[in-house]
């Protein structure tokens, strides 16, 4: 049995949180309800008090609340923070670290996993501000139960309705289930984001990678109990929690960081969009413009995956297991197959980046996993779910190859 903090915020779906609370209890969990001021306008705290048999937290400023700094005490005690319904307002506060009431302070104070069930008008849901906030939270490892389609309280029909209580309960229960993963205790290196290749002190060659795909893999590997080293190129997104985070800028820096981490790794997953070329002779001072064209001579960057494939441990025992990505716009699968063979890696994740809803920057992806055993299409879904599909396959490799026990 785990203690779950059930955050209830001010949306019309607040009444459904009562059913969520009951569902969690039926699964054997203990619930403490934390209501925002607006939530208490939709449903009475007494209802939650009667069901949870615990005092309902509605304010940070009640007498007795600060005797043992309640939000910190609860933050330590809970196994999960679930917010259902979660309004656009609270999503925004979580994303930006605003702690102006008990629930938002609890979010910052807890190290427990966080699950949100957003609920709002469909135009609000697709608004750039809300989407960006959701992306920020997803990159931090916060999970969401997708809102449903249908009639909304405001009279509109569209996406934004609070997911069904049973779905929310199932997602919460799954997050609390002990993870029986082949990755548990394994050292996993994940790369994410772009690399920047400097032309001079103010200009560089870069690419559109946001780091989102690699961050989702790192977060999922961490959830499965892996000891994750995340090697991240320059990106504006906040990385998820990991045992070690190494920030790099260029392909050469990424090469150094990955080769160092790979010496002890069981698995290396290269989701980063590493530059293939870098300026041969970067200028130490800003290059002045002229009226004529500019010629830039580029040289190849070190091929990190190919170097990993030549590691002695890899040649002798097949460890680390190597996963590469192939970002392609034409003949994606055929090129992916060829790339896997040429780089001498176990699994390649083929990413058709000609689609607007997959690949660079967006929150969703659709890929094909190719290895020596065959191919498997992973249809369009959130990058978090794609990450889970990739790691399911990686686990198969870890089991099949019976990788040696984790080295200290
Ligand atoms: O970051 P996001 O916005 O979420 O976007 C995700 C993504 C599109 C960046 C990701 O899904 C993806 O496809 N990553 C690989 C992009 C890429 O560089 O593909 P490639 O086909 O050029 O490289 C093939 C593989 O070799 C990659 O695993 C790459 O990390 C690796 N590589 C490339 C160059 C190099 N010098 N060394 C390498 O190891």
Q: Can you give the pLDDT at residue 65?
A: 53
CA of 214 to the centre of ligand 1 (A): 10
Ligand 1 test: best mutation among 274, 299, 330, most atoms within 8 Å of CB? Answer: 274
Q: Ligand 1: residues within 6 Å at CB? A: 193, 209-213, 251, 270-274, 276, 301, 303-305, 324-327, 339, 351, 353, 359-361
Q: Give the CA count within 13 Å in the CB-facing half-sphere of 109.
A: 19
CA-CA distances (angstroms) from residue 122 to 83, 107, 150, 154, 280?
A: 19, 25, 10, 10, 50
Q: Can you give the pLDDT at residue 176?
A: 86
To the nearest 5 percent, what fractions of the chain are helix, strand and coil? 35, 25, 40
Q: Can you give the pLDDT at residue 225?
A: 84
Catalytic residue (choose from 21, 86, 144, 154) = 154
Q: Can you give the pLDDT at residue 262?
A: 97
Read off the pLDDT band of 64 (50, 70, 90): low
Question: Per residue in 150-165, pLDDT tens?
Answer: 776 666 677 889 999 9
CA of 327 to the centre of ligand 1 (A): 6
Question: Per residue in 121-158, pLDDT tens?
Answer: 889 999 999 999 998 998 888 999 989 887 766 666 77
Read off the pLDDT band of 106 (50, 70, 90): very high
Q: CB–CB of 36/101 below 8 Å?
A: yes
E strand or H helix at 30, and its extent?
Answer: strand 30-35
Ligand 1 test: best mutation among 194, 255, 326, 348, most atoms within 8 Å of CB? Answer: 326
Q: Can you give the pLDDT at residue 162?
A: 93
Q: DSSP secondary structure string, 37-62?
A: TTHHHHS-HHHHHHHH-SPPB--S-S
Q: Average model confidence (pLDDT) for the chain?
A: 91
State whether residue 398 is helix, strand or coil.
helix
Q: Which residue, by CA, sits nearest to atom 27 of ligand 1? A: 325
pLDDT: is 390 or 68 the higher one?
390
d(CA 88, CA 35): 15
Q: Which residue, by CA, sits nearest to atom 24 of ligand 1? A: 326
Question: Per residue in 16-26, pLDDT tens?
Answer: 999 999 999 98
Question: Per residue in 24-56, pLDDT tens?
Answer: 998 889 999 999 999 999 999 999 999 999 999
Q: Which residue, by CA, sits nearest to atom 11 of ligand 1? A: 359
Q: Can you give the pLDDT at residue 298?
A: 98
Q: What is the mean pLDDT of residues 276-302?
A: 96
pLDDT: is 64 or 139 the higher one?
139
Q: Can you give the pLDDT at residue 242?
A: 82
d(CA 230, CA 211): 11
CA of 316 to the centre of ligand 1 (A): 26
Beta carbons within 10 angstroms of residue 300's beta carbon: 11
Closest atom of ligand 1 to 193 CA is 1
What are the φ/ψ torsions at residue 230 (nearest 5 degrees)? -105, 120
Closest atom of ligand 1 to 210 CA is 3
> 408 pLDDT exceeds 70?
no
Give me the residue spans of the domains in the chain. 3-176, 187-401
Question: Per residue in 337-387, pLDDT tens?
Answer: 999 999 999 999 999 999 999 999 999 999 999 999 999 999 998 898 899
Q: Can you give the pLDDT at residue 128?
A: 95
Active site residue 86: no
DSSP state letter for 27: T
Closest atom of ligand 1 to 343 CA is 26
> Which range among 33-37, 69-73, 282-286, 379-383 shows the weakest confidence by mean pLDDT?
69-73
CA of 193 to the centre of ligand 1 (A): 9
Q: Can you give the pLDDT at residue 61?
A: 65
CA of 120 to the centre of ligand 1 (A): 36
Read off the pLDDT band of 405 (50, 70, 90): very low
E strand or H helix at 246, and its extent?
Answer: strand 244-247
Closest atom of ligand 1 to 339 CA is 24
Q: Can you give the pLDDT at residue 406?
A: 46
E strand or H helix at 305, and its extent?
Answer: helix 304-309
Q: What is the mean pLDDT of residues 3-26?
A: 94
CATH class given for the domain over 187-401: alpha beta
| Highest mean pLDDT of the ranges 2-16, 56-70, 216-230 | 2-16
DSSP state letter for 146: P
| Tokens coding 193 | 């984001």
Q: Can you give the pLDDT at residue 390?
A: 97
What's the length of the chain? 408
> 403 pLDDT exceeds 60?
no
Domains 3-176 and 187-401 share a fold: yes
CA of 306 to the centre of ligand 1 (A): 13
Q: What is the mean pLDDT of residues 191-212?
A: 98
Q: Which residue, by CA, sits nearest to atom 17 of ligand 1? A: 273
What are the φ/ψ torsions at residue 127 (nearest 5 degrees)? -60, 140
Per DSSP (E only), the strands in 103-165 are 114-118, 143-144, 148-151, 157-161
| Tokens coding 208 | 């559109």
Q: Which CATH architecture has domain 3-176?
A: 3-Layer(aba) Sandwich (3.40)
d(CA 234, CA 216): 16
| Tokens coding 269 | 């997953």
């Amino acid at each position: 049995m785990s203690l779950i903090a059930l955050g209830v915020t001010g949306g019309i779906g607040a009444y459904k949180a009562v059913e969520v609370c009951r569902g969690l209890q039926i699964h054997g969990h203990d619930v403490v309800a934390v209501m925002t001021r607006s939530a208490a306008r939709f449903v009475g705290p007494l209802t939650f008090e009667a069901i949870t048999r615990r005092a309902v937290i509605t304010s940070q400023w009640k007498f007795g609340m600060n005797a043992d700094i309640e939000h910190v005490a609860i933050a330590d005690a809970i196994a999960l923070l679930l917010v259902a319904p979660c309004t656009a307002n609270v999503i925004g506060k979580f994303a930006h670290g605003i702690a102006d009431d008990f629930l938002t302070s609890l979010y910052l104070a807890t190290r427990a996993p966080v699950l949100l069930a957003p609920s709002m008008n469909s135009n609000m849901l697709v608004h750039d501000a809300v989407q960006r906030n959701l992306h920020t939270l997803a990159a931090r490892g916060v999970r969401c139960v997708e809102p449903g389609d249908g009639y909304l309280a405001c009279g509109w029909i569209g996406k934004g309705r609070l997911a069904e209580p049973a779905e929310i309960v199932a997602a919460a229960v799954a997050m609390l289930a002990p993870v029986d993963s082949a990755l548990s205790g394994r050292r996993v290196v994940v790369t994410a984001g772009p690399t920047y290749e400097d032309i001079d002190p103010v200009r560089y060659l870069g690419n559109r990678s946001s780091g989102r795909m690699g961050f989702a893999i790192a977060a999922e590997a961490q959830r499965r109990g892996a000891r994750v080293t995340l090697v991240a190129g320059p990106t504006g997104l906040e990385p998820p929690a990991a045992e070690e985070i190494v920030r790099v800028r260029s392909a050469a820096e990424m090469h150094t960081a990955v080769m160092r981490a790979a010496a002890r790794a069981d698995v290396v997953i290269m989701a980063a969009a590493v530059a293939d070329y870098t300026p041969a002779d970067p200028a130490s001072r800003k290059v002045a413009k002229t009226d004529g064209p500019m010629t830039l001579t580029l040289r190849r960057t070190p091929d990190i995956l190919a170097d990993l494939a030549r590691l002695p441990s890899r040649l002798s025992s097949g460890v680390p297991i190597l996963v590469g990505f192939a970002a392609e716009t034409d003949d994606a699968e055929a090129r992916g197959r060829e790339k896997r063979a040429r780089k001498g890696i176990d699994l390649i994740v083929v990413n058709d980046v000609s689609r607007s809803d997959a690949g660079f920057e967006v929150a969703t992806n659709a890929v094909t996993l190719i290895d020596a055993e065959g191919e498997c299409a992973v249809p369009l879904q959130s990058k978090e779910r794609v990450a889970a599909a990739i790691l399911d396959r990686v686990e198969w490799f870890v089991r099949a190859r019976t990788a040696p026990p984790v080295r200290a």
